Amino acid sequence: MTKSQEERWVWIVYETRRFDSKPPRRFDSKKPCKDFERYGDVTPTDKVLDSGTDSRVHTGTVSATEKCLRSGEIAHLTGVSPDTIRHYERLGILPKPNRTRSGYRLYPPDTVERVQLARRAIQLGFSLVELAEILQTRDNGGIPCHRVLTITEEKLRSLGQQIKELQQTQIYMRKLVRDWRKKLKVTPSNRKAMLLHSLIDRPKTTSSSNNLKRR
């Protein structure tokens, strides 16, 4: 090796040590969640995936950061109370979760989606009993799709009837307001107009009386 080659080699070694002074961070397979939170998206290097002869293709989404959630965390993410989460569990809307040695419930991450589904279905008129029946059927491998459609059709018909009744109630109350305004104009300020008492003298309609009672 000539003197110039020796000097070049020394320079290369110096530059390498200067830019690579810190060892690379490695993935700790024993604590994947913490390492992913600390280091970000680090590719595991300690383990090699070997698809053996008896292996099967996993079609789901796998994330090393996924972890079980407690009822309080589920409640915070979905906007309901922890008591509601436990109530859903008792009814069968949520499957029975695993528990820690201390007795804490540990729900899988997809519980958040199921609670959101339940809340939306309740807004559309599904009862908790109906939801429990449907979801338990699905969890047990059944196909409740026709049952879901039947229930939804029934609720749509019921909604149509309620809309008709509300429209009749609206017409009734508009006339009532007009009559009361006229009555107040001719009633002296020092006398009672007895507006509510006038409802007794009015003919009752089934739709209007039922809707008024709901309020």
pLDDT tens digits along 95-135: 999 998 888 999 999 999 999 999 999 999 999 999 999 99
- Report the pLDDT averaged over residues 185-201: 89
Q: Does the pTM of the predicted model rise above 0.85?
A: no
Q: 140 or 39, which is more confident?
A: 140
For residue 60, pLDDT over 60 is answered with no
For residue 58, pLDDT over 50 is answered with no
- Report the pLDDT averaged over residues 22-26: 40
pLDDT at residue number 54: 46
E strands, the chain, in order: 98-99, 105-106
- Report the pLDDT averaged over residues 10-29: 43
The DSSP-derived string for 42-69 is: PPP-S------TT-----S---TT---B
- Report the pLDDT averaged over residues 196-208: 70
pLDDT at residue number 44: 38
pLDDT at residue number 88: 96
**How far is residue 75 from each of residues 35, 100, 128, 157, measured CA to CA in Å?**
26, 19, 17, 33
If one counts every other C-beta atom within 10 angstroms of the C-beta of residue 54, the result is 5
The residue among 103, 108, 71, 104 whose CA lies nearest residue 88 is 71
pLDDT at residue number 7: 55
pLDDT range class, residue 20, cuts 50, 70, 90: very low
Structure tokens at 82: 């922890």
Structure tokens at 212: 């008024």
Structural domains of the chain in order of their starting residue, each with its CATH number: 71-143 (1.10.1660.10), 162-214 (no CATH)
pLDDT at residue number 2: 53
pLDDT tens digits along 141-181: 999 999 999 999 999 999 999 999 999 999 999 999 999 99
State the Cα–Cα distance between residues 136 and 91, nearest whole angstrom.
Answer: 10
**How far is residue 200 from each of residues 26, 99, 148, 165, 195, measured CA to CA in Å?**
82, 60, 44, 20, 10
Structure tokens at 157: 């018909």
State the Cα–Cα distance between residues 95 and 74, nearest whole angstrom.
Answer: 14
